[in-house]
Amino acid sequence: MPEALIWVNGQLVTAGTPALDPRDRGFLLADGLYEVVRVRRGRAVALPLHLARLAQGAALLALPLPPGLEAAVMETIAANQLEEGMVRLVVSRGVASQRGLLPAGDESPTVVIQAMSYRPPSPELYQRGVAAIVSSLRRNERSPLTQVKSLAATEQVLARMEAVRQGYPEAILLNTRGRVAGATAANLFAVVDGTVLTPPAAEGALPGILRQRLLSEVAPACGVPATSAPLPLARLIAAQEAFLTSVLIGILPLTNLAGQPIGRGQPGPVTRQLAATLADNDCHPLG
């Protein structure tokens, strides 16, 4: 790749060039949204779905989105000659004419787009699965922010730090009712009696792009029943299989929870079948 170029409010600037106003509400108040998009063979995978989710989040925050975001993403990918990697798209409310929590209404949104390389987890990790703890933090399923990719991700940061301190790479977050919401940066699925279950949005699960496509496309293509339903922690512990999903990691088996194996403690047949179907569709990527 050439020297990294970042899209900032309509201009491509060299990484490290001062380009943001420190009064931006995204910096001061985390008042904004982001999307992470996988790039394969030079194209942004499932970009329309990401932009649709971004628009839904912007409507919730009453944050006006500037036009031309799809073209800006593609221009940033091309400028960086990125074939395999990821794009991070950030939209904040911008600089306000007055201080305080309430937007003044005259802000101009700030748009930052980064295209960068990405190294997925090792093949060995997919073969043995990942281990996680159950975080002591709770995800507030009543908060509307659980349904958007908010810049306010400090809770997930703290949960991931908690996991690493205990020697684990990942943490599972429960909601205020003690049921599973998801992982720090991924959705969670469990295989229970042959059915693939994932927590619904009302339980605090983020409406993930790959989550959506797994429920509507991948699982049906495999003939595997899949649905969203509340997932008590005990049901996850007793599941035959479990796995995590995101547009970056794909389908990653979860084989150990706080030192206890899930199922046989190795990737199970349903997880392998779903992952194989996802890989077979790589020429028409699902994310």
pLDDT digit string (tens) for 227-244? 999 999 999 999 999 999
Same domain? 106 vs 178:
no
C-alpha span between 85 and 39 (Å, rounded)? 5
Mean pLDDT of 150-162: 97
Cα angle vertex 141, ends 112, 138, to 5°?
90
- Cα-to-chain-centroid distance, residue 87: 12
Angle at the Cα of 230 from the Cα atoms of 210 and 156, rounded to 5 degrees: 60
User: Could you tell me if 210 and 129 lie in one domain?
Assistant: yes
Residue 125 phi, psi dihedral angles, 5° rounding: -65, -40
- Name the nearest CA neighbour of 51 among 24, 19, 87: 87
Q: What is the mean pLDDT of residues 179-207?
A: 97
Quote the domain boundaries for residue 253: 123-283
Task: Please state the domain count of the chain.
Answer: 2
pTM above 0.85, yes or no: yes
My answer on whether 235 and 168 are in the same domain is: yes
Residue pair 195/130 in contact by the 8 Å Cβ criterion: no
- My answer on whether 128 and 44 are in the same domain is no
Is the confidence at residue 96, as pLDDT, over 50? yes
| Mean pLDDT, rounded, for 174-197 | 97
Residue 279: per-residue pLDDT: 80
Q: Could you say which of 116, 145, 173 is where a domain stops? A: 116
Looking at residue 281, its pLDDT comes to 61
Cα separation, 162 vs 129, in Å, equals 20
Q: Are residues 63 and 181 in the same domain?
A: no
In this prediction, residue 3 carries a pLDDT of 77
**Reported confidence tier of residue 284, pLDDT bands at 50, 70, 90:** very low
pLDDT (average), residues 262-275: 97
The answer, yes or no, to whether residue 257 has pLDDT greater than 70, is yes
User: Exposed, middle or buried: residue 136 (CB in 10 Å: 0-12, 13-18, 19+)?
Assistant: exposed
Among the candidates 64, 95, 116, a domain finishes at 116
For residues 203 and 108, what is the distance between their CA atoms, to the nearest angstrom? 34
Q: Does 154 share its domain with 65?
A: no
> Cα–Cα distance between 2 and 4 in angstroms, integer?
6
138 and 100 inside one domain: no
CA 272, CA 278: separation in Å to the nearest integer?
Answer: 10
Position 2 scores a pLDDT of 64
Residue that finishes a domain, picked among 66, 97, 116: 116
Q: Is the pLDDT of residue 283 over 60?
A: no
Quote the pLDDT of residue 105.
87
On whether both 96 and 25 belong to a single domain, the answer is yes
- 141/139 Cα distance (integer angstroms): 6
Q: How far apart are CA 192 and CA 242, in angstroms?
A: 9
Whether residues 207 and 112 fall in one domain: no
Over the chain, what is the mean pLDDT?
94
pLDDT of residue 92: 97
Selection from 128, 160, 130 nearest residue 254 by Cα = 130
Identify the burial level of 41 via C-beta atoms within 10 angstroms of its C-beta, where 0-12 means exposed, 13-18 middle and 19 or more buried: exposed
Q: With DSSP H G I counted as helix, E B as strand and the rest as coil, what are the percentages for the chain, rounded to 5?
A: 30, 30, 40
Confidence bin at 98 (pLDDT 50/70/90) = confident
Are residues 133 and 238 both part of a single domain?
yes
Same domain, 203 and 77: no
**90 and 136 in a common domain:** no
